[in-house]
Amino acid sequence: MSQPKIIISGGGTGGHIFPAIAIADALRAEEPGVEVRFVGAKGRMEMEKVPKAGYAIEGLWISGFQRKLTWQNLSFPFKLLSSLWKARRILKKWKPDVAVGVGGYASGPLLQVANSMGIPTLLQEQNSFPGVTNRLLGGKAQKVCVAYEGMERWFGAEKLLLTGNPVRSNLQDMHATREEAAAHFGLDPAKPIVFVFGGSLGAKSINQAMEANAVHWESRPDIQVLWQVGQLYVKGFGQCATARLPQVKAQAFIDRMDLAYAMADVIVARAGALTISELQFAGKPAVFIPSPNVAEDHQTKNADALVAKGAALLLPDVEAAARIFTEVEKLLRDEPQRQLLSKNIKALAKRDAARRIAQEVLSLVPSKS
């Protein structure tokens, strides 16, 4: 009998890419002979991250449709037609048994064509408010794996599976001690440590809030800060007044997130689905500053779902500059609240998400005689 062939499509951000890679790894663990390929969007980060993870990927000429009037929208119909044509060519040539969509630009054309060709499809939705692509594709998908309750209003209840979001294996089992992690970043484990980040590319408003509070951070030299400024903003903020303080470690990118999580007393971050899932495993008290620049304000909805369960705090983006320091300092002074937030967010972690999704994918493989 031939081994199953699975194609995974989507990407654009780490929030889509890393769960997709986790699913691919779990597929290999469940079915060692499985063949897995990816389809992404040309020029996006999946074209670099997926090959590094050991998987082949092909790129489509596709991008999102801008909600405001812009000249970039003029090319969208041509990109869509090109992507649909190439997706059909890929599927006809490779003949996968199942197509998996994780959200992002490329998953739309690939899964749309897969549905038209009768190839079983599975969607993985990371957020509490599904993206446009997954909402459009959900009607024809055989199964939809979600991370939040109450998703029946967008997807049929009969196809929904509450699996949680897949998380990279090194972030599921963090073995480093606080001392080891602090030493890696040149920090003192005996003093409070705050980890601030806004994703791999950075978050401008969080960086601006950190910069605006230089005087406050300077007044508390005992509070150490690891600050991921982001690749896009390191030139603008990497040498600002806050970044130059002796207790602040400002970096463009942090590749050892497991160590950063392990040593942190308080974490300040965006409320993307991947970040939330990782923090559920880390079990650390978090102040979420949701990005206002995402579709349907889904990061606020993600954070609200945790706040409602006493598992995190929410600081609106427009108030970040005025309150980021005071919220962090207040939380550092309140150990009972930190312990409660840690306990509640850790209770939400779903440790077998990738394995469960992989099993559901394999269950859709047509039987071959």
CA atoms within 13 A on the CB side of 2: 12
Q: In which domain, by residue range, is 137 found?
A: 5-165+351-363
Whether residue 295 sits in one domain with residue 231: yes
**Residue type for 296, please?**
E
CATH number, domain of 236, equals 3.40.50.2000
Q: Residue 124, annotated ligand binder? A: no
pLDDT of residue 318: 97
Contact present, 106 and 9 (Cβ < 8 Å)? yes
Whether residue 356 sits in one domain with residue 337: no
pLDDT of residue 65: 43
Q: Residue 67, annotated ligand binder? A: no
For the chain, the domain total comes to 2
Strand order in the sheet with 160-162: 56-60, 35-41, 5-9, 98-101, 121-125, 143-146, 160-162
Contact present, 91 and 119 (Cβ < 8 Å)? yes
pLDDT average per 10 residues of sequence, the chain (369 residues): 89 82 95 94 86 91 55 57 89 96 87 96 90 88 92 92 87 84 97 91 92 97 96 89 97 92 97 92 96 85 94 98 98 98 95 94 87
pLDDT of residue 2: 78
In a domain, 369, yes or no: no
Q: Residue 70, annotated ligand binder? A: no
- CA distances to 12, 188, 286, 357 from 180, rounded to whole Å, are 33, 10, 22, 33
Q: Residue 127, annotated ligand binder? A: yes
Q: Residue 342, annotated ligand binder? A: no
In a domain, 263, yes or no: yes
Q: Residue 200, annotated ligand binder? A: yes
Q: Residue 299, annotated ligand binder? A: yes
pLDDT of residue 36: 97
What is this structure's pTM?
0.83
Q: Residue 276, annotated ligand binder? A: no
Q: Using alpha carbons, select from 302, 305, 282, 278 the residue that is nearest to residue 290.
A: 302
